[in-house]
């Protein structure tokens, strides 16, 4: 066999090997079923979640702003270069997460984009026990829970991460907590026996959720765009229904040209405690007492004397009339000197995707009936 023929055969076999391994990302079309082909439609690559939540047809904030997402820098932010990547970075590929072929991504690689989880770690390191995590404390990292199918995609075209299986839910917990790799929840004689079929792991074991309050969207349309919000929320745990169980939730609040908006959906914080909540933390909350006596829950309240917003901390079960002003939020705005002041009691519109508020019966069980 001639040297030229051997060289041609080597190149052919090398190309086939790279396609099968999924590490060819610049080819016009990937081999069907390969990692590259699945990755093309994955949430990591398309960043479709931002479009889905913002879209007017889904009840998103676009309905109030009238500004199409294509005119905003949001997708640029969600495709921003991770730490160490050049400004010309155009989105994730194999070598953005895998520094060497076959090498798993490191924790720091994940946190380069997933900054909310980085904040959880920073808060825990700073001594805030509400953001400690039993898994991190035992040396676990992102890829110990997040599977290759989640990261690379499974060949489907999800609209958000909630379309993936199992998504952010306790079903994933039970993959390990099955008695072989980790202790399984006992089905009888304790809180697990009472709640396991109708309450997700997150509702009891995730200590707290973190969010930014009152995002000032006008700054996103400046040149250069800026990400501005009033201040972070560090200690609340909202409860909604998701996939047939009571589940942890979180929310995002936005202000644009004096229009205000709150979006809510399922959430899974990386602040897991070995000990679940006790009975009183869910069944005898300040939120339910306020709802029962006043018909609303003041989630964010402007304190005129302190010129500041305070938040409703702890567990907040979300009632069925949550979007009728029951979950109340005071919004602020800032002037040209970056001074914040009270704007309105809102919001003007609410959105919830992938979950539903608790039922009247559930609210009564939790002390709000």
Residue showing tokens 């979007």: 323
Distances (CA, A) of 12 to 15, 22, 97, 106, 201: 5, 16, 26, 32, 50
Which 3 state secondary structure label does DSSP give 295?
coil
Task: Give this prediction's pTM.
Answer: 0.85
pLDDT of 182 reads 83
d(CA 235, CA 249): 12
pLDDT of 28 reads 38
pLDDT of 85 reads 60
pLDDT of 15 reads 38
d(CA 213, CA 74): 17
Which 3 state secondary structure label does DSSP give 164?
coil
Residue in 363, 139, 82, 98 with CA at minimum distance from that of residue 246: 363
| Burial profile 117-130: b = 16 or more Cβ within 10 angstroms, e = fewer | bebbbebbeeebeb
Question: Domain residue spans in the chain?
Answer: 33-365
d(CA 154, CA 175): 18
Strand partners, 356: 241
User: DSSP characters for 177-195?
Assistant: TTTTSSPPPPSSSSHHHHH
Q: Provide the residue-wise pLDDT of the chain in tens; the chain has 369 residues.
A: 444 443 333 333 333 333 333 333 333 345 667 888 898 888 888 888 889 999 999 999 999 899 888 887 776 655 555 556 655 556 667 877 888 888 888 888 888 888 889 889 998 888 888 889 999 999 999 989 888 888 898 889 999 988 877 666 667 888 888 888 788 887 766 788 889 889 999 999 999 999 999 998 888 877 777 888 999 998 899 999 999 999 999 999 999 999 999 999 999 999 999 999 999 999 989 999 999 999 999 999 999 999 999 999 999 999 999 999 999 999 999 988 889 999 999 999 999 999 999 999 999 999 987
Residue in 209, 214, 237, 235 with CA at minimum distance from that of residue 309: 214
């Amino acid at each position: 066999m001639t040297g030229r023929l051997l060289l041609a055969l080597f190149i052919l076999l090398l190309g086939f090997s790279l396609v099968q391994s999924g590490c060819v990302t610049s080819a016009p079309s990937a081999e069907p079923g390969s990692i590259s082909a699945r990755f093309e439609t994955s949430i990591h690559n398309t960043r479709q979640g931002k479009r889905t939540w913002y879209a007017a047809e889904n009840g998103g904030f676009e309905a109030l702003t009238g500004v199409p997402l294509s005119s905003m820098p949001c997708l640029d932010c969600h495709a921003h270069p991770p730490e160490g990547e050049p400004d010309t970075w155009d989105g994730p590929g194999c070598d953005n997460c895998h520094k060497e072929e076959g090498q798993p991504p490191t924790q720091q690689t994940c946190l380069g984009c997933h900054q909310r989880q980085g904040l959880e770690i920073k808060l825990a390191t700073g001594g805030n026990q509400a953001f400690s995590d039993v898994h991190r404390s035992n040396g676990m990292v992102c890829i110990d829970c997040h599977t290759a199918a989640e990261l690379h995609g499974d060949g489907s075209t999800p609209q958000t991460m909630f379309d993936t299986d199992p998504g952010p839910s306790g079903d994933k917990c039970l993959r390990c907590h099955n008695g072989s790799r980790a202790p399984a929840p006992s089905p009888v004689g304790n809180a697990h026996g009472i709640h396991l079929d109708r309450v997700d792991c997150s509702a009891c074991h995730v200590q707290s959720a973190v969010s930014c309050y009152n995002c000032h969207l006008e700054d996103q349309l400046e040149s250069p765009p800026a990400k501005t919000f009033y201040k972070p929320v560090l200690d609340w745990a909202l409860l909604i229904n998701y996939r047939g169980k009571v589940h942890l939730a979180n929310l995002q609040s936005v202000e644009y040209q004096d229009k205000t908006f709150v979006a809510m959906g399922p959430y899974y914080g990386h602040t897991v405690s070995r000990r679940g909540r006790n009975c009183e933390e869910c069944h005898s909350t300040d939120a339910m007492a306020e709802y029962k006596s006043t018909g609303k829950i003041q989630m964010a309240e402007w304190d005129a004397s302190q010129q500041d917003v305070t938040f409703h901390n702890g567990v907040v079960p979300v009632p069925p009339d949550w979007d009728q002003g029951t979950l109340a939020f005071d919004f602020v705005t800032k002037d040209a000197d970056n001074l914040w002041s009270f704007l309105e009691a809102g919001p003007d519109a609410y959105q919830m995707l992938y979950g539903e508020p608790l039922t009247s019966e559930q609210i009564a069980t939790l002390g709000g009936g």
